[in-house]
Copies of this chain bind each other. A is one copy, B any other.
Amino acid sequence: MSEQGERALPRVIIVGAGFGGLDAARHLAKVPVQVTVVDRNNHHLFQPLLYQVATAELSPADISAPIRGVLRAQRNAEVLLAEVIGVDTKARMVHIRERTDGEERELAYDYLVIATGAGQSYFGHDEWAEFAPGLKSIPDATAIRRRILLAFEEAEMERDAERQRALLTFIVVGGGPTGVEMAGAIAELAHKALARDFRHIDPTSARILLVEAMGRILPAFPESLARAAQGALRRLGVRVRTNAPVERVDAGGARIAGEYVPAHTVIWAAGVKASPAGRWLGAEMDKAGRVTVGADLTVPGHPEVFVIGDTASATQDGKPLPGVAPVAMQQGRYAAKVIAAWVEGKPAPGAFRYFDRGYLATVGRNYAVGHIWRLRFTGLLGFLIWAGVHIAYLIGFRNRVLVMLQWAWAYVTAQRGARLITLDEEPRGTRAIQRAG
C-alpha cells in the first residue's frame, strides 16, 4: 500500500510512542527513511501529570495526544495500533499483534528503536499488585481515582469507627517524585477539595502516609531539597515515614516496619520493572529487566537495534542514568541522529551523553523543589518553574490551554474538576472490537 518510491527506503520501526520513541520519530522527519511507530495505545501519554488524573484534577484526554495527530504532517511516518510479541534479530523482523482484531503479522526493519518504557515492580511480591495499584497508564490512574473517591463514599456510609478510620487512611509507598507528588495531591484532595462535601465524616481527618524504605525521600535530589519537600508535605498533613520498608500488603492494609496499618487505599510508587524487550532480544539485562546497551545505545552485536528510555540500562561516568523523561527524549533524538548518519553515509556521532538540566518535584499546589543547572528552588518559585516546564513539554496547544485553565481554576477554588467515578464497566460486545463482514 506504500507508494512505490518509498519501497526502497530503509525501514525504521519504533516500538513505543512515549517520550523517547516519539522524539526519535520526529527527528527522522527529514531523513530518507520510512518510519513505522508501533504502540499498544493510540495516544502518547504525558506521564509526569498522571498523578493529577489519579487525584481528580485533570481528565485523561488532557494529558494524552493521539499519536496519529502528532505525526500527521510527517509524511514518512505511519502509526500502527499493535503490540509487539517478539523480535527476530537475525531475520530483522518484529512480530506484532494488531490491537484491533488480534491478527498477528511480521514487519521487516533495517533499524529498530525499542522505547517501551517500564511497569511496576513489586520486588517479587506480585500478589500485592491487586491491593496496591501502581500508576503507569490511564486505566491505572482512573482506577486509583475511583479507589480514592470511593473510600470517602464508603466512609460516609460506614458506622463502625475503626473501619471508617481505615477507609480514611491512604498509604503511598515510595518516596521518589511520583510518591511525593501523589501524597501531596491526596492530602489536598482530602483536606481542601472534599472538606465540606460530606455530612457524616470529616475528610480533613484523613490520614495520608508516605512510606520510604530508605533513609530519606527524593534520594536523587540534594539533601537540602529533600528536607524542604518533607517539611512542605508535613504542612499539608502528610506523615512521612523513612527507614520504613513495606513488608506486606493485603486487603486490609499494609505492614510497615513491623507495624500493621489498617488502610483501605495503598498506592504503589516504589519500584519499576522494564518491559519485556530484553526477552524479545535475548539481550543482557540488569536486575530490573533493563537491557544493557553500549555507548551508542545499541544492543551489543546489533548496531541496528537501539534500546532507549526506561527500557535501557545505560551508564554515564560510572553512574546509571535515571528513568526520567529528559533522558528518554535525548536518547530518542540521539538514536535518530545515528540512524540519519548511517543512512546518509556520514560519520556516526560520538557516544551518547545525557545533558542534565535538573530535577523538579511538586508538593501539592504552590510548592515545588528542584534544581536547574546549579540553581536550587523551593516553594512557590519552584512551583511556577515546575508548572512552566510541564506546560511547555505537554504536546498540543489545546492540552496546554486546558491544563493551565484547570490548574488556575483549582488554584483559585481549591476544587477538583474531574471527580468522576465510573462504576459500571464499559459495554464491550463479545470482543474488544467486532470483525465486520
**Chain A residues within CB distance 8 Å of chain B:** 1-2, 40-43, 59-62, 64, 66, 68-69, 72-73, 78, 80-82, 98-101, 103, 129-131, 133, 137-140, 142-143, 146-147, 149-151, 153-154, 157, 159-160, 162-163, 166-167, 169, 194, 196-200, 251-253, 262-264, 396-399, 401-402, 405-406, 409, 413, 415, 417-430, 432-437
Which 5 A/B pairs are nearest by Cβ-Cβ distance? A264-B436, A59-B59, A100-B154, A166-B436, A61-B418
For A78, list chain B residues within 8 Å (CB): 199-200
Please measure, in the bound complex, the distance between the C-alpha atom of A334 and the C-alpha atom of B253, giving whole angstroms: 48
Tell whether, in the assembled complex, residue B398 and residue A436 are in contact, meaning their CB atoms are under 8 Å apart.
no
Contact of A434 among B72, B82, B251, B417 (CB under 8 A): B251
What residues on B are CB-neighbors of A140 within 8 Å?
426-427
A419 proximity list for chain B (CB < 8 A): 42-43, 61, 66, 69
Q: Which of A163, A194, A422, A425: most chain B Cβ within 10 A?
A: A422
Residue in B closest to A435 when the chains form the complex, CB atoms: B251
- Measured CB to CB, the nearest residue on chain B to A61 is B418
Question: Is the Cβ of A157 less than 8 Å from the Cβ of B98?
Answer: yes
Contact, CB under 8 Å: A415 / B59: no
Contact (Cβ within 8 A) B429 A131: yes
Q: In the assembly, what is the distance between CA of A166 and CA of B419, in Å?
A: 38
Contact residues in B for A251 (Cβ distance below 8 Å): 429-430, 434-436
26 contacts between A and B (CB under 8 A): A1-B200, A41-B421, A41-B423, A59-B62, A59-B418, A60-B422, A64-B420, A68-B198, A81-B421, A100-B157, A130-B430, A133-B429, A139-B426, A139-B427, A146-B426, A160-B437, A167-B436, A169-B436, A398-B409, A398-B413, A398-B415, A401-B409, A402-B402, A402-B405, A402-B406, A423-B432
Tell me, rounded to whole Å, the shortest Cβ–Cβ distance linking A163 to chain B: 5
Find chain B residues with CB under 8 A from A263 CB.
436
- Whether A434 contacts B131 in the complex (CB less than 8 A), given A139-B425, A401-B405, comes out as yes
